Structures are given as C-alpha cells and as structure tokens.
A and B are shown apart, each in its own frame.
Chain A
C-alpha cells in the first residue's frame, strides 16, 4: 500500500512536470502578449518597454529556468493583465468552480445513477422508453445552447431564477443543471449497462430462486458489483465537468476558473494559464488516484498493485 502510494506520487510529479513544460512552451509559440496589452497606436519603443517590464525580452530558456525556479518555490508569478499575483486571482475563482462542479456532480450523479438503475430493473416497461428519451436528449444538447434555453425559459419568461451571475444558491441551479445533464446521461448509461450485466449473472438467478427480494438483492449484491465501472467513469466525468465548465461559466457569467481560463488564454496571460493548468493536472491526478483506492474498497478482490486475481 505504502509502496503503491509512493510510486503513484512519483508518477504524479513527473506528469505535472511534463504538463507544465508543455504548457510553458506551447503558450509561448502562440504569440506575444505584449501586442495585446498596448493600445493599437503604441510605437515600437512602447512595445519594447512593455516587453522589458514583463520580462519577455529574455531568451526563452532563461524564462523557462526562472519559471522552474519559481514553481519549485510555489511562486506562480503575477498576471500580465491584472498585475496582481496569480495565486490571488486563482484563489478568488476556485471556490466558484468547486461550487459549480459540486452542483453539477449532484445533478449528474444524483440523477444519473438512480435513472440507470431504474432503466435496468424496469427494462421492459414502456415508461423506460420515456426515460431513455430524456437521457438521449440530455446527452445531445450542447451546453451553450441548453444554457441559453434555460436562461430564456426559467429566468426571462418564468422569472423563477436569476439569469446569470454568482450569489446565492438560486444562482447555482441553472448552471448546475446545464453542466450536469451532460454527464448525467453518461452516468445513467454506464449504470444501466453495468446493472444489466450483473442481472444476467448466475448468482442473481440463484438468489432470486432462493426468494431474495429485489431491494435486498440490489443493496447487498448488485450495487457493489455494478459500482466499479461507475467509479471509473466518475473520475473521467469530473475532469470532463471541469472542461465543460469553460462553456457553461461563459454562458452564465459564472466567475469560476473556466471563465478565467478562456479570458487568460485570449489575452495570452501566460502565468495565469500556467497556474490553472497546474491545478487542473493536480485535480485529474488526484481523482484517478482516489478512483484506484475506491476500487479496492468496493471490491476487495482488486489489489492496489493493479493485478486482479
């Protein structure tokens, strides 16, 4: 167990180093932020002065070395555009992204898993057709479109919820649904398949033959066995939620990291993008790690060195 954790930690460090290096160089291939910072009427001398004051006049290798040195000391630098530390900017945005991701996860997991179970248990009932339709619709609507529809319907016409911005829990509802419905569909499908898979197995038939009631059968056996694929998908889907947040946050003017990512990429605010990517890499690695641990909790047959007996 300890060896496993140490090895995964070592892999994580290498992955993060690789991601950071990649982001550092790719960003610098895509253009010079100085031109975006000065007004169009600036002269060449103004541009040079700006570039010097940002440290962008240094050779790229020198910039890279000082970047590595700063990162090692947890110094993420200062935003070119806002001129305040990157950590301040990210820290102010992170809580909003966590709220939205939490809300969306609640919608996707809380709605998707029960739906999947119901669709599997009642697979022959006509009502299931309706549910399948709902799942398909949720999966097929792009968020930039469903988001606008939600705003028009629930905020402008019905006036039940605020159309945009952050604030109380009522502001969180529409973006959470817009973001969550997409993964909800994935959860529902995976849960349904996993359940059907288990339902067709011999132990289920013999349990039923012994007269075990469906609820008991579900909680004691099915839920646990069907959980493994759902956990794998969950780790992926949460990373997907963070990626999807980019669009949903833009539509709903939700001040999270997704919106910040778009704005920072557009303005070539390199250091902010680097900070966000670092967090993203960290979250993804942490999620996969958690999923690995959870496998062995749910199914003791799985050992942490990855080999199944």
Chain B
C-alpha cells in the first residue's frame, strides 16, 4: 500500500533537490558581502597576547599578522618576516617586510616586533602563552626592518612557535594601555576590528590596504553560539555561513541536507591514554602492555567517533615534525591482554581513571569497559576540569593512574607534546626514564633536522616497547559550512578569512 506513495515522495523530493542544486548555478561567482561564523563562545580577549583559546584566535588571527605562518600544506612560510638566517646557535636574524601598515596607517617596524616579543615574555604581563615563548631571552632591532632573536640555548622549535606570535603596534598599546587595546585592537592583518557587542558578536571589516592576499568578504561577523544543535540550526536556517565544532553525527546530517556541507580536517591534536608508571599496577611493564592490547583503537575511531580520526602508534601525528612512518599501534588482542594481567597479578588492584566532563565520556566509558573485560578493576573518577588539572599536574604520586587526553601544542612539532608528557622533569609526566629524557632533550636542542628526527624515532620506539604512554589517534575537527564557501581547514585549527572564497548563492 505504501509503495506508490513512497515513490511519489521520492519524486517530489528529487525534484526539490534538483531545483535546489540548480539554483546556485545561476547566481555563479557573485561576491558575498558578509560572512557569519558561529563560534562556541565569544573570544575571551582580542589582545593576541592576553589569551589562549580557539574562540579567541579564530578571530584575532584575522586582525593581526604573525612573524611567520604556515601554508595550507603546513610548511612554515614568510608573513611579517620574509627571510631568516641563523647567526649562531642561539641567534636568528629576521628580515621583515617594509610595506606593512597597521590599521591606523602607521608602518610596522622592527620596533613593533621587538615590543611584541618583550611584552608576551614579560612574566609581569602574565600572558597565558608565556610557556610557548619563554625560550626567547632577547629581541633586538638591528635596523628598521631587521630583528635578531636570542634563545636560551639552541632552539630548533623557534620558527614553529613564531607562527603564533602576533605583532601588536607599540605606539598604540603604549598610548592606550592593555585594557583599552583589548576593547579596540589595532593590528596589521587582512581584517580590521569594527565592533564587539559583548556576548553577542565581534564584527571585522576588510582592510583594503592589506599588503597580502585580501579577504573575500567586506565584513565578517563572529557570533557566540554555545549549543551545537543551535549552531546546526543556524546553518540550516541560513543565518550562519560557517560553524565550528560539530560531531560526526551532525556531519552526516549535513551531508544529506541541501545547501550545506561538513568540512573535516585531521588536526595536530593527538589523543592518548596516560598511565602512571610509578604506581601499581602500571609500574609493571607487563600490565601496561596489557592495556595497550586491551584497547580496541580501531573500534573507538571507526565505531565511536567516525569523524575522520586516524589511529597512531606514536605520540605525534603526520602533521608534526618528528612523525616517523611505520611505527605500528598495538593490535587489539584481549586474550593476550588477559593472560598478561593474570601473569602480572594486576587484577585485584583498584585503578582510578581520572577525567572531567570536558573529555569525550563515550571514550572514557569505552576504555573502562575494555579494561574491565580483560580483568582490570577500573573505576571512573569524574571531577570538574580545574580539579582534574590540579591533580594531573600535582605531585607525581598523586597524578592519575590512568587518564585520557587530547593534546595539541599548536606548533606542529613533536617537542610540543612529547616533552611535557614524557620528560621526567615535566609536571604532567608520569614516566621516568633517563634514556627518554636524553632523547627529548636532544630533540629540543639540536639544530640538525636529521639528528632530531633520529632522536624522536628512538623515543617513539621506547614509547611503544615500554608503553610509556598509549597513543590512540590523531583527532579530527568538523566544521559545517554553506555550499558556497570554498575553504581548506588546516591542522593547526586556524580560520584565516583571506584564505576563503565564495561561489554561488
């Protein structure tokens, strides 16, 4: 009975889809004056030195230029600095563009770059980004457009960090002070700051004297929309053109809705299970190996997340310097895991899995279940994020026996995540191994790429053989966009308006 009706519905639906698909073709390549982007929260600050979170840098990276940047393939390429030469092991000279102007018309000079570096590295200023730049001990303008940076020892990650160093105008910040600058930021980027309606939106307008690639939209509005279902509704209702942070179910929903599409990219964020190797039962390498075998990584990535994540066998991703091909993740072998746990006698020990609601609880519960199935006694300790972080960075003996994390250093260099997670001196590390320490120090201080790569390869092998930590997968992020938006999201979770374009509608 229902057959003919279904067929009719299909026909009507097909016609509707065909019309919808045809409509944009007619209005081909029209300029779009305004783009509306839904973020999760409003930026906490538009002073690029004042804050460190995606909702802030999604916006301010369009207002400010950085010393260098990464292209869509992930290579470090010139932005403010056109070239750089190493003067000695600890000194690098940067030559700057001479045609950059701030939005107030003043030229950007070496003084501004020096000022920006001194500002962000001043402990009194209290920038949350201090840790990313505190290896820089000196910045000196040696000409109008040359700057020499001095580092505390040879520092191979300098360029990768400078990708995030936004340059602020010295004359404006000194004149108005940090607070007024945050309310009315002046940069040199492709978009200038227009208006900040607290809690509602930030509006930027195109800077027509920009030295580089100009933005395709006259204005850009960034709104705060905390609920993911509401962001989806905004996109489908056409009140937003681009939305951030969706999950894989929502991505599939976008695939089947007309006029919208998901944009998925693998990031430099690496997910892992951390084990406290100084406390029972995981002070026994056999018990750690059992965990590695008990976790069905493919199952988590394909069954649970299904958003383009990739299983990794090392604590890095292909987006990192220091990624080594061919280090396989442990296979899923619960039978062998069971045997190892029996041999190690680890079944009776109570294991507390510390976590907070910020982390994907589906994964936390799946891991708990997989570990219980092979005979471990795991209970979940769910606390708020501040409490969790305090514990995770507390005294070594108090750090969680097991925890789940997803880390990015926003520098695409293995040093950024491996050193803090595995070096015995770090307040996150739950692993003590002098050989590992030496390799990580070599990776952090050698200026020779081949030497560094060799050190990380050895470190990856130790991670695998000793299960110092259990790498799980390279995380993906999902954006939703209207069909007209042409944009390639990148691994470092940036959102550069001047790398977008619009077709149709």
- Which positions in A face B, CB cutoff 8 Å? 30-33, 35-47, 49-50, 52-54, 81-84, 88-89, 92-93, 96, 148, 151-152, 155-156, 159, 162-166, 250-253, 255-256, 259-260, 262-263, 266-268
Q: For the complex, what is the distance from the CA of A155 to the CA of B239, rounded to whole Å? A: 10
Which of B76-84, B387-395, B455-463, B478-486 contacts its partner? B387-395
Q: How far is the CB of A31 from chain B (nearest CB, A)?
A: 3
Tell me whether A156 and B223 are in contact (CB under 8 A): no
Q: How far is the CB of B455 from chain A (nearest CB, A)?
A: 19
Q: Which of B128, B417, B427 has the most CB of A within 10 A?
A: B128
Do A43 and B237 have beta carbons less than 8 Å apart? no
Do B426 and A43 have beta carbons less than 8 Å apart? Answer: yes
Q: Return B357 CB to nearest CB of chain A, in Å.
A: 9
Query: A216–B387 Cα gap in the complex (Å)?
Result: 63
The answer to whether residues A83 and B386 also contact, given A41-B132, A162-B237, A259-B199 and a CB cut-off of 8 A, is no
With contact pairs A152-B233, A252-B230 given, residues A93 and B128 touching in the complex (Cβ less than 8 Å): no
Q: Is B304 an interface residue (CB 8 A)?
A: no
Q: Is the CB of A255 within 8 A of B234?
A: no
Pairwise interchain contact B387-A31, C-beta atoms closer than 8 A: yes
Say yes or no: B131 contacts A46, CB within 8 Å: yes
A44-B129 Cα distance, complex, nearest whole Å: 13
Within 8 A of A (CB), among B364-412: 384-387, 389-390, 393, 405, 407, 409-410
Q: Encode contact with A along B148-165: 1 for CB under 8 Å, 0 otherwise.
A: 000000000000000000
Interface size of B by Cβ–Cβ distance < 8 Å? 57
Query: How close is A8's CB to chain B, nearest CB, in angstroms?
Result: 33
The 8 Å CB contact of B126, one of A32, A49, A92, is A49
B160 vs chain A, min Cβ distance (A): 12
Complex contacts, A47 vs chain B, CB 8 Å:
393, 427
Is A96 a contact of B199 with CB atoms below 8 Å?
A: yes
Q: CA separation between A31 and B182, bound complex, in Å? A: 27
Contact of A166 with B200 in the complex, beta carbons under 8 Å: yes
Q: Please indicate which of the listed interface residues B47, B131, B409 has the most CB atoms of chain A within 10 Å of its own CB.
A: B131
* Sample of 21 A–B contacts (CB below 8 Å): A31-B385, A32-B389, A32-B390, A33-B386, A35-B385, A40-B407, A41-B420, A43-B134, A84-B182, A84-B183, A89-B198, A93-B199, A148-B229, A151-B233, A155-B233, A164-B234, A165-B200, A250-B226, A253-B224, A255-B198, A260-B199
In the complex, which residue of chain A has the Cβ closest to the Cβ of B183? A84
**10 pairs of A and B residues whose beta carbons are closest in the complex:** A31-B386, A255-B199, A53-B126, A92-B198, A35-B389, A253-B225, A42-B131, A46-B131, A163-B233, A49-B123
Chain B contact residues, CB within 8 Å of chain A: 38, 41-42, 44-45, 47, 50-52, 123-126, 128-132, 134, 178-179, 182-183, 197-201, 223-227, 229-230, 233-234, 236-237, 239, 384-387, 389-390, 393, 405, 407, 409-410, 416-417, 420, 426-428
Docked CA distance A85–B129 (Å): 22
B178 (CB) vs chain A CBs: closest residue: A83
Q: A36-B389, A47-B393, A84-B183 are in contact. Are A165 and B131 (CB under 8 A)?
A: no
Q: Which residues of A contact B236 (CB under 8 A)?
A: 156
Find out whether the CB atom of A31 lies under 8 angstroms from the CB atom of B233: no
Are A43 and B47 neighbours in the complex by a CB distance under 8 Å?
no
CB < 8 Å neighbour of A263 from B41, B52, B386: B41
> In the bound complex, what is the Cα–Cα distance between A252 and B234 (angstroms)?
10
Once the chains bind, are A163 and B239 in contact (CB under 8 Å)?
yes
